[in-house]
């Protein structure tokens, strides 16, 4: 059989590659987990011991092979990936080391923001050769990570999130999403940014923005802009909201529900909850987890809406039939849901507990690699162009609405 006959679309390739990783893990392959945590310059040395360096090397070889297989089955030039991917990987390791610093960790800064920043710096300060630009494929990397993300969304864990947390999440997600969508329309923000901003503000920040961009086949430059807004606004919210809660005398339960429902990144939620107390940390984590659980449902709904509606051109709205909907429907959503069902109802608890840490780690690596690529692909002048002012204000206003609505619901349910 010729290689041409083996070729599949990238939409299906990410499902195949994601499940290849999942099945290898469940069959007993140990996915290495390097340690990137350090507190000061002197603490960097243990990160480069023979054992940890080998873990980094094994992880590189593993993801390198997956990327090469992806190029082969999608018909992309393998030579570009052979030369370009190692550079992306090295830059991503630098980002992971920066994110592993204890101080950065306390601030809730995730690896993706360092990946994005490093990519932007390198991509804008240096003239990248065309062969290297051709090797970048952020969409493939993001969607593999999204399929793997499904393994951590366990349906049975919805019960652990608690009924109150789930009720709050449903109210907040629906009301904030609709408000953000309506506001972006009023401000004449383009449709791709409207969908990404609405999901990022209302559901779970970076992961929701990534999932939405994948569902609508969004521009990676717009995705990087939304992610930058999410991560930048999370820092003052993380520090300021616990102070406001103490100032107004909110209980730890109410404060935790407020933090978990309005701060968009899980790391910042954990850091912020820790500043308040153990009970606040517990409630904030539960509420944030409830919102994370809704990600798959939201991605599915957005995919159906977007593919049915189509992108309007000159005011004309295309309404394709079921066949076209299936053709356009992003298959990574099916991979995400299938992975969640597999880990929820098919695999036994012992297997899930054995492999989930390795899969979670490699999923984070795929996202970090993707955002390094997005940064390298993005022109900084375009990112800060004047036409991005309206999305910025739409995001800030929607985030303010999110904070107020979540506070009201948290007071009602937990106050």
pLDDT one-digit tens code per residue, 84-99: 999 999 999 999 999 8
Of 367, 377, 384, 380, the residue nearest 115 (C-alpha): 367
Asked if 119 contacts 373 with a C-beta cutoff of 8 angstroms, the reply is: yes
pLDDT of residue 314: 47
SS (H, E, C) 3-54: HHHHCCCHHHHHHHHHHHHHHHHHCCCCCCCCCCCECCHHHHHHHHCHHHHH
State the average pLDDT over residues 226-248: 84
pLDDT one-digit tens code per residue, 324-336: 556 656 687 788 8
Residue 1 pLDDT exceeds 50: no
**To the nearest whole number, what is the mean pLDDT of the chain?**
82
Dihedral through CA 101, CA 104, CA 108, CA 113, nearest 10?
-100
pLDDT one-digit tens code per residue, 169-195: 888 888 999 999 999 999 988 888 999
Among all chains, which residue has been given the structure tokens 């609709």?
178
Of 412, 366, 392, the residue nearest 151 (C-alpha): 366
pLDDT of residue 260: 87
Across 54-63, 118-127, 147-156, 180-189, least confident range: 147-156
Of 182, 92, 134, 46, the residue nearest 364 (C-alpha): 92
pLDDT one-digit tens code per residue, 65-75: 999 999 999 88
Phi-psi region of 219 (alpha: psi -120 to 50; beta: other; left: phi over 0): beta
pLDDT of residue 277: 81
Calpha distance 86→59 (Å, rounded): 12
pLDDT one-digit tens code per residue, 272-316: 787 788 778 778 877 877 776 677 777 778 877 877 765 444 444
pLDDT of residue 155: 61
Residue 385 pLDDT exceeds 90: no
Q: Is the pTM value of this prediction over 0.85?
A: no
pLDDT of residue 88: 96
Asked if 138 contacts 377 with a C-beta cutoff of 8 angstroms, the reply is: yes
DSSP for 353-404, written as a single string: HHHHHHHHHHHHHHHHHHHHHHHHH--HHHHT-GGGHHHHHHHHHHHHHHHH
pLDDT of residue 233: 81
Calpha distance 222→47 (Å, rounded): 35
């Amino acid at each position: 059989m010729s290689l041409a006959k083996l070729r599949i679309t990238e939409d299906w390739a990410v499902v195949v590659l994601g499940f290849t990783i999942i099945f290898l893990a469940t069959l007993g392959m140990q996915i290495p987990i390097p340690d990137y945590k350090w507190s000061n310059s002197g603490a960097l040395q243990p990160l480069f011991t023979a054992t940890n360096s080998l873990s980094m090397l094994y992880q590189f070889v593993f993801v390198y092979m997956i990327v090469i297989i992806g190029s082969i089955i999608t018909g992309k030039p393998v030579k570009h990936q052979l030369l370009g991917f190692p550079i992306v990987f090295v830059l991503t390791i630098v980002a992971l080391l920066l994110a592993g610093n204890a101080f950065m960790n306390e601030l809730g800064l995730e690896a993706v923001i360092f990946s994005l920043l490093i990519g932007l710096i390198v991509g804008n300060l240096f003239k990248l050769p065309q062969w290297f630009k051709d090797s970048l494929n952020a969409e493939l990397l993001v969607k593999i990570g999204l399929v793997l993300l499904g393994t951590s969304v366990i349906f049975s864990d919805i019960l652990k999130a608690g009924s109150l947390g789930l009720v709050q999440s449903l109210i907040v997600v629906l009301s904030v999403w609709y408000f953000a969508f309506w506001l972006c329309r009023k401000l004449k923000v383009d449709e791709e940014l409207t969908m990404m901003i609405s999901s990022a503000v209302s559901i779970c920040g970076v992961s929701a923005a990534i999932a939405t961009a994948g569902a609508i086949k969004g521009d990676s430059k717009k995705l990087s802009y939304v992610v930058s807004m999410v991560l930048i606004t999370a820092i003052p919210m993380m520090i300021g909201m616990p102070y406001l809660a103490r100032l107004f005398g909110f209980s730890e339960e109410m404060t935790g529900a407020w933090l978990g429902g309005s701060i968009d990144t899980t790391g910042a939620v954990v850091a912020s909850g820790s500043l308040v107390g153990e009970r606040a940390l517990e409630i904030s984590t539960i509420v944030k987890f409830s919102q994370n659980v809704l990600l798959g449902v939201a991605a599915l709904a957005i995919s159906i809406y977007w593919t049915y509606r189509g992108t309007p051109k000159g005011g004309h709205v295309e309404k394709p039939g079921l066949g076209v909907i299936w053709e356009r429907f992003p298959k990574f959503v099916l991979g995400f849901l299938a992975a969640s069902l597999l880990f929820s109802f098919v695999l036994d608890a012992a297997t899930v507990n054995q492999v989930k840490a390795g899969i979670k780690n490699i999923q984070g690596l795929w996202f970090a690699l993707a955002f390094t690529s997005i940064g390298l692909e993005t022109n900084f002048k375009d990112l800060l162009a004047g036409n991005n002012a309206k999305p910025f204000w739409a995001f800030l206003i929607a985030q303010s609405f999110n904070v107020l609505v979540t506070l009201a619901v948290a007071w009602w349910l937990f106050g």
